Structures are given as C-alpha cells and as structure tokens.
Chain A
Amino acid sequence: MHGFANPARFLRIATWATPLCLIAGLLIASAALVWGVGFGPADALQGDVVRIIYLHVPTAWLGMMGWSSIAIASFVEIVWRHPLAGIAARAAALPGAVFTALCLITGSIWGRPAWGTWWVWDGRLTSMLVLLFLYFGYMALAGATQHDEAPGQGQGRMAAIFGLIGAVNIPIIHYSVLWWNSLHQPPSLSVSGVVTGTGPMATSFVVPLLTSVLGFTLIYTGVVLARMRMILADSQAEARLRRKAMAAQARSGALAEGW
C-alpha cells in the first residue's frame, strides 16, 4: 500500500493541473494556428501550402516526445518500481500514437502538392511509420498486462521493456535525414538558429511555429494527466472491490488456503 501515498500527492496537483494544461494548450494552439495560417507569410518557393507546418511539426515533435516519455517512465518503473511511472508510461501511449498518426497524415497531405507524391519509402517517413506500429504494439502489450496487481512486476514489465527497446527508433527518426539521402529535408530548427535568428527558417515562420509547439505540448501534457487519473481511479476502484470481496468471503467462512 506504500504506493498510494505518492498517487495521493499526484492527485492533489493533477486535479487543477489537468484542466489548466488542456484549456491553456487549446487556447495557445488555436491562437498560433490562426496567426500562422491566417496572417503568417507564404513561403517563397512553396507558397500557401507551407502553412501545414504549424500542425505537422508539433505533431511530429509530440509523436517522438510520447515515446520518449514512455521510455523514461518505463526506466523508472523497472529500476525504482515506482507505481506512478508505470501509469505514466501507459497514459502517454494513446496521445503519442494519435500525434504520430496526425504527423503522418498531415505530412502526406503536404507531400502531395510540395513533392508531387503522397508517400515515399524514404528513411524519415518509414521510421516515423515504424514508430506508429511500435505504439500499436505497446498499447496491445500494455492492454494485455494492465490487470496485474502491481506495475513493474511480472507481465507488467514486458510493456516497460518494450518501451525501452522501442526508444532505439527515436534517434533513427531524428538522424534519418542526415544519415541517408531522403526526400524529406534536413531539420530547419536548431537552438542556435532560433536564438540568433539566422537559422534556415525565417523568424516570421519560427515564432508562430514555436507558439504552436508550446500549445500542443500543453494539450499533450493535459491528456497524459487525464489518462493517468483515469488509470489510477480504475486501479483504486478495483483494489477496493477486491478487498471488499475478500472481506465478504472471509465473513462467510469460505476461506481459501492460498490467502
């Protein structure tokens, strides 16, 4: 029962942090999208179709962020057996998968007018598709083992180990455009380029784009918190029901030896 001490503290913060993140995220993301799509500049070469970037880049970032969260939380789950870590890893899977899918869909819609094709099997696109399949595999594994009593033990560990192994794909996605010839262009954003304003992307694109990334990251955080609260509430309710069933059985005198 020691594990429920920390979830209590988590719930105290998450109660107000969840709606705060979701509302602030939705407001900031909508403002950034209206700004970029409605008032931002068109690209000199690509024209108006470049405006898909304000959706494509945040979803790509969060698709990779989602698996990074799973990997870090899985590591904490395996090493320290922290019960909240297993819950956090499971909670991050759905938003991560949704944003990865959105990244692939918006990229495909952007690719048709910009490249002349909906899809190519180059390193970046393929490794991102592999990430989506990794999410599906993780969710199936986590779903198959979610009824185990304690996270981080027995079968619950399989999902955590899978989460750690799958993290290999994250650097592959990032470096795919640098290691191999690909149709996808190399990164446009870098810390030094943004700070000095001399990166390959003009500042009038960078500012609404980073605002959009901030907004979507807050939405992602809010969704992860909401799903953590959901998983926590489910396991608390199940633990309570199990204890009650055990007490009732003990009262009726039907004592099983294993207990």
Chain B
Amino acid sequence: MIRLEHVTKVYGETVAVNDLSIEIEKGEVCILIGPSGCGKTTTLRVTNRLLEPTSGHIFIDGRDICQIRPERLRRSIGYAIQSVGLFPHLTVAANIATVPELLHWGKDDIARRVEELLILVGLNPVEYAWKYPSQLSGGEAQRIGVARALAADPPILLMDEPFGAVDPLTRERLQAQFIRIQQELKKTVIMVTHDLDEAIRLADRIAIMELGRLVQYDTPETILSRPANKFVHDFVGTDRALKRLSRIGIGNFIRPCPSVKTSDSIKEVAAAIGSRRSVWVVNDEGRPIGWIDQSRLSESVTARETIFSGDIHEIALTNQATLREALSRMLGQGFKSIPVVDDKARLIGEITLHDVEAATADGEA
C-alpha cells in the first residue's frame, strides 16, 4: 500500500533519514519509534510531501507520489499532529470540515460528515460543533484533531504523536478509542511516537529507527522476543517480557473452573474443590461474589459461613483483558488464579499464574 524505497533526507550536514526502505500493508498500523532525532518525524513528513526526500521514492498503491500534486496528495491523506494545530478562529465544526471544503463537498454532506465524526470520536455534536478550540480541554482538542484528519475518509492516516500532549489517563482513553475506531475503519496508519508502551499497544508493526536508519521492522511480539541487535534490546528495555504480555489477550488461556453457590452444602463445596486450594462462589445470576479456601472447609457446616468476599470487581477480569493485566491482578491480590467474567459479569473461567508463566516462557524460547 505505502512503500518507501531508499529514502534519504539530508539537511545541510546532517542526514535525518538514511536509505530507508519500508513497506506498510493496507489496513495496518505502522508505528515509527526511536530516540529523538532518529528521523521518525521526517519520515512521516516525506510521506505526504511536507518534505521532499533528497533521494529515493515513495509509492502509494504503486504510484510514485512525486507525480501527484502535493495539495492533492495531502487531501487524500489524513494528518494529525501532537500540538493538534486546530484553527483557533474557526468552530469545531469548521475545523473538521477543512478538507471536505477544500474538496468542494456540498454543504449538507459536510454537515452530515461533521456530525458523524463527532459521534465517532465520542463527543456530542450538539454540544461541541459550535465551540471554539479555546473552549476545549486537551483531550477534546486531540479528538477533534483526529476527527479532522478523518474528515474526508482518507484511506491513509499520518499521525505525529497524536496522543502526546495529554495526561496519562486521557492518553489511555484516547488509545482505547483509537483501537476501537481502527477496528471499525481499517485505515492504513503511520504513527510516530516515543512511547514504547503506546507502540506495543496500538501497532501491527513497529519500525525502530536509530540515527536515520531503520533498525528493525516487525510485529511487536517479534521485536520484544527477538530484538535485532543491542540497540533494540536496550531500547525495549529489561521489562520486555512484561511488555510482551500486554500484546497477548487472555482469550486463549481461560480454563473452565468449578464454582459453587452460596446455598450449596459443605459436602458439595468439598466435592467442587477436590484437590484445588479454593473455589469461586457465584450468586444466582452466575456472577462471582467471593471464594472459599480449602483450609476453611473443616470449620463450618454451610458454604455461606466460609466465603471470603473481597471486592470481586477488583479481582475479576473481562475476557478482553491482556495477560499483563491478569498478572498485575494476581500480584496485587496475592492470588495464583483470577476469575474471568463475560460482558454480563458472569463467571466463564479462570486464568492461572502457571499459564501466564508458560506464555512468558514460550516467548523467550
């Protein structure tokens, strides 16, 4: 879809991008990452001809972009930047309408599109369309920036640290929203970031750059488990095993597990526990409400008396969680297993520490 061939960009004495070749598949999120000054932003900016490469070629759908007029090219590529760059004299609606207006869309089409996009990024159109950028919070401005980039439904999106200038909590939300939008729209995205966790969370492929050169271009899993050289190894850090866990959903690791109801007798509980150390207790709707330890069994006669009822919402995971979250819960609570619930908070199984360890070991191998 997008192919950079031997792209080099020289500023005076410094070589910002050095013989870079990379290919980004349609519908994939490619994240450029590296220490500052590694040429990642330059790479992004040659892709929509905000900068002209000193040498080399860039192809989009097989077409050399130097044959496309820069303005036309850019109108077909969404562009979102860290400092957002919303136009302060225009309303949110007019900001989002920028590219459709440049493309001479009809008034009604633009209005409809603006509304659609505000809903897509989770802002109420009635409330936000007529606000001015100065009336927005940082997170809201970032979302409008993304909405504006998506306005003319471009197949390609270039994003330069789009979630950089906001607090960590807001960034987390914006990232989750990005994942949701990307699953829906399947854009081809090139994103620049310096936040490795963000890259691992969002990328289909990560391109690690150093001094203008591409060092490794691979899936996050591969980069974490098989760093190409010492630079990448150091860059991803010593906690890369932990980072890798955040790429792995718990879906494949859920084991069926026994459960008991509060009304069950001790005998039934004992049968359910068997050789286990404990068993999850669910209410009549099947939602976990606590657990029973094997050691407590002898002391009581009914299940009700033996239940430990911790804050089960703090403990249970939904089936969309990652192994990293599972591990974090286990360590936090001191458990060797964590219950997993479905959308309606009903118990569907559990994740065990043993499985997490096994997954980590697989990656190392």
Q: A and B, one complex?
A: no
Q: What residues of chain A have their CB less than 8 Å away from a CB belonging to chain B?
A: none
